[in-house]
Every structure is written in C-alpha cells, then in structure tokens.
Structure 1
C-alpha cells in the first residue's frame, strides 16, 4: 500500500478545510469500499480525512414528516429504525438485501451512496477502464459483460451502480444533503448519480470537497405502500443482477393509481427511474396487462450487449410482480413490511 497522510476531522468546516489543503485527499467514514479499492490499487489517495467522528449519525423526524438520516448512520441502524420500517419499508428491505450483517454494521449511509462500481475491469488495474483511467478504453464492452448495463450506457462505459439503497431512495423521492466550502445544498436522489456519457469517471454530481451530510425522505402519502425486490446469482451477499423499488398510492375504491414511483437497479450506471412506465400507469387500473405494457414501454429503451439481454426479462418480471403485490396490499389495506 502506498503511504498517505491521515486527518481526523472534528467538524464539517475542519473536514472541508483539510480536504482543500491536502491535494488528492479523500473522505473516510465506514471505509467498506474505499479501503478495499486502496488495497487493489484502484484508489491511491494522498490523504484520508476521517469524518466518522462527526455528529452525522442521527435519524430524526422533521416538521412536515420529513425523515432525516445522517450520513454516518450505519446501514444496520437505518434498516432497523422504527420510522424507516413503518413509513419507508422499501428502504429497510433494500439495506437488508445489500450486504452481510458485518458490513451493514460498518457501512454508512453516505458511503453507500458513494460506493463505486463492482465491474471487474474497473477493479483490475491491469485492464483498460475509462472509469478508472480516462481514455484507456472499456474492456467490458467486448469482454465479460453479463452483469453490465442495458440502459443509459455509452461507448465509454457499460458499468452499473452497485447500491441497493440508492435504488430505494430514487423511488422514494429522497434528497441528498451536501456540505461544502460554500455552504449546504440538496440534490434529488434521482439526479445525484450520473450516466457515463463521455465522463464515466464522474459517478455523481458531488462537487470537489463536498461531503454528504444526510438523506432527506419526504413523508409517505397515507395509504401508500412500497417494496424492494432483488434478483441475484445467490441467495445472499451478492450484488443485484436486477433490482426494483416501487412506491404505489392506489385509490382502493376506484382501483386507479393515484401515484406510482418505479426505480430499477442493476440496469444502468445509476438507479434508473422509470418515468415512462410511471406516466402510463398513473390514473390507470393496475391490471396485469396495463402493468406489463407500461413496463415494456420503459424497457423498450434498453440496448443490451452481446450477453446480457436476460436482464430485460428479469427486470420485466420483477417489476410486474412487485407492482401486482403492492396493488393487492393497497387494495386490502395491508401495509408494506420490511
């Protein structure tokens, strides 16, 4: 491992000042992704600014029902929190599906959002990868890409984003709170992660030196239900081939969709919010035919690679099943359960 300097920040101001003072520095919280990448030689920070001791771990209910989850709140604590389980069960389900209990006990909310792709070519410093080494090429396009993107990819990168939590946050219309030298700002979760385009090395819209300080979840609509489902190679501790997060607000009397939010994981460089499917389902009766047509309209945008067209079928089946499950629960007045 290459040598690096270390600073343990005692305030947000001190953390951003240290980051600005130390070129090539990175923030460290749980370290479950960054430290692994340092061991592989993918990340080589000149300095680590440790923010794990900052008071950013609280989970609190704000006025108007907004739930604020601090950036250093551990994934296990968020998944088990009564307010999360009661009002945003899709988030609890996504976190519980995301990793082993040991990792959930160490991984943080902010770190989960900022984790980098698990593309094996990105993690192999001997392979060309535009995300790791801009301009070197994308080995995955003509290589082993069974697990790679079918939506929103470019000639420069076909990697997918690995987070389960981020998919749930996209469907839940969360905001990401950021702190930098110019103060605090918020970014919608749906706009936080980027598609690769010509700059796949830029995973997010976070500015230089900014710190994720919290996730903000708006109050759930009365009667709305949510669900997270995941398809993977083995029963646990595996990244998603495809995942889906759904929030459904159904008028049980008219059996019409008042509002629906649908997000896919495992299909793109970022969580994929299915705007086309949502538009088609809003105001409609969620019959099996209507749901399938809406999901198919969304997936018509897919551009599968040589070996990953199976992801389209997986995504269709997961989404249709999740929507049907939530429609039954909403109709019966049964809440979602983690």
Structure 2
C-alpha cells in the first residue's frame, strides 16, 4: 500500500495553486490512466487533487466554436448531437477507444493526458527513459512491435495511445489551460511533444497547469476515423488515421490528416496534406501523398510492417471520404 493524501477541489484556481506548490501532487479526474499507474508503481504522488467535480462538464457552442469541458466523459462527448453532426471523425475516434465502461468514466482532459502503454514504461523492473530519465530505452532492442516509426529518438520510441487526440489534431482543436498566472491556449497539434532528449515530458504543460476545455472550430461533416488494431474492440491502434476533406468537382480543395499509433504524439500529416491540396481525388494521388508522408519513417526490427500499413490506411481513409473506388 502506497499512502497519499487526497483533496477534493472546489474551484479551479485553488486546485491549480495546490498542485503548483507541491511538486509531488497530481490532478485526478476519471483516473482511468493514473489509477493504473498507482497500482503498478509507475506513479507515486504524495497528493491527489480531485478536479472531477469542477464545472467543466458541458459541451457548448459559441460563435461557431464547440467547447468541450475537460470533465465531459468520453461517452457523453461521442453521443453529443453537436459532435455527431459537425465532427463525425471525433465521435468515431472516441467510440473506437477503450471500452464502454472506460468511456463512461474517462474525461476529455484526461484523455489528452494519457501516457504511453509501452510495456517497459509500465514495468518498473525494466529501464525506461520516460519513467526514469537516463536509465535507457528497453524497447529499442526489445519488444517493439507497437512502437513508433515517426519522430522517435534514441531516448524513446513509445507511441501516444489516444484515439480522441488524433481526431482533435485533424480538427485543429485548441486546448484551454489554466495556470497560476492565468489562462493560455495551445493547439492540440502542439500540445504533445516528440521525445527528443526529454521523453519524460509528454506535453507542453507546466506542473500545476490544468486543462479546462478543448475548443473545436468550424465544422467537418466530411470526416472519418479509421483504426487498425489487433482485435475489434478494447485495443490500441497499430495505425489510425483521422481525415477531414473538402472535395469539389473531383478536386481536393482542402484536407487535414492526423495519424495515431505511429509516433510519440498524434502525427499531423502535413506532407500528405500539401501533396493532396489541389490534386484530383484519385487513388494514385492518395498513394503518392501517403508515400511522401512516410518517406522518413524509421521502423525498428519488429514494426517495419507499420510503414506499408500506415500508407494503406491513409489511402483507405481518403477513399472512404471521397467515394473513390478501386
């Protein structure tokens, strides 16, 4: 039994101040990830500050922007009429993640803050630079079937597990953050970090900063999420693609793509987007764009299959959206 103190927050400012002044304090919301880490010994906080009852549990629209509060449960967000009508890709991504029971508990803010499911990160008996900086990365020469093929470093090859975050990245969503010095915003595409020399830092959040909401601009009625995994449910992505497209007269006017299961963060496929804009919506164009995006892939011994899988998944997702038939 690892002892810790528990406090229930009554306001956001107080919660932020409490965690900010204690380097060993953590926020607790749904707890679907943090509680696992407490059990495994991966995380050993002195204090948990429960923010689940703060007033961040609504989905609202204002001036064309849909705001999802940080405490909105994944199941509620997926079922919300605004999300289903305007952002199908997000509803599909949410429903592709975890299980029904977990989606009923997991929150919007907590989903963004999921840590990797790398088996070495979760096993405290093995070296892991993310868990213990400087100890080494066991996955590079170990079991690395599920690891990254893009943006990794010699320090870490883990992947980010969220489905929701991949869709949010393709939607140009923005994270609202409260800290001791006030509020700031960060695009979801810039919220998560590549490992570099500091793999222990998953995001750009500073200690004590609290996610309060995520803003999703505009609408993406022509959008979809495609996920490749080992079984039909309750499995993390080997590769996933969130796609948003605007096609008129058979020409791609605009497109936004994000990949999951391939990097330390949701991977915005900007090379593929640039290749597709202004091109004919054909399978050949889709394949050329996918090739461009994966040109710098660096697979490990056990996950080279992810490179063609990612290319094929990009093509399939775009073909689904545009109606291009083989």
Q: Please confirm whether the aligned pair reaches a TM-score higher than 0.5, indicating the same fold.
A: yes
The match for 1:249 is: 246
Residue 71 of structure 2 corresponds to residue 76 of structure 1: no
Conserved? CA contact 1:7–1:18, under 8 Å = no
Task: Look up the match of 2:58.
Answer: 58
Query: Quick one: distance in 2 between partners of 1:21 and 1:319?
Result: 45
Aligned mates of 2:286, 2:237 — CA distance in 1 = 22
Select between 21-30 and 233-242 the one with higher mean Cα deviation.
21-30
User: Does the Cα contact within 8 Å between 2:23 and 2:207 map onto a contact in 1?
Assistant: no
1:300 maps to 2:295? yes
In structure 1, what is the equivalent of residue 127 of structure 2?
128
The structure where helix makes up a greater share of residues is: 1
1:16-72 CA-to-partner distances (Å, cap 9, x unmatched) read 121134330000000000011010000000100110010001100111x10000000
CA contact (8 A) 1:78 1:92 kept: yes
Partner of 2:94: 95
Q: CA deviation at 1:220?
A: 1.3
TM-score (norm 2): 0.98
Q: Distance in 2 between the 1:73 and 1:239 partners?
A: 22
TM-score (norm 1): 0.95
Confirm whether residue 147 of structure 1 aligns to residue 142 of structure 2. no
Q: Is the 8 A contact 2:153 2:196 kept in 1?
A: yes
Which residue of the other structure, out of 241, 259, 281, is the alignment partner of 2:254? 259
- Taking the aligned partners of 2:193 and 2:19, their CA distance within structure 1 comes to 23
Q: Choose which of 304, 314, 317 in structure 2 pairs with 1:322.
A: 317
Q: Deviations over 1:102-142 (max 9, x none)?
A: 00000000000001000000000000000000000000000
Question: What is the distance in 2 between the residues matched to 1:304 and 1:94?
Answer: 25
Report how far residue 255 of structure 1 moved.
1.5
Q: Deviations over 1:308-327 (max 9, x none)?
A: 01111111111101101101
Q: Helix, strand or coil for the counterpart of 1:250?
A: strand
Provide the C-alpha distance between the structure 1 equivalents of 2:168 and 2:290, rounded to a whole number of angstroms.
20
Runs of 4+ in structure 1 off by over 4 angstroms are none
Corresponding position of 1:227: 224
Q: Is the 8 A contact 1:180 1:210 kept in 2?
A: yes
Give 3-state SS (helix, strand or coil) of 2:93's partner: helix
Question: Once the two structures are superposed, what CA deviation does each residue of 1:290-336 show, in whole Å capped at 9, x if it has no partner?
Answer: 1100111110110000110111111111110110110129x9xxxxx
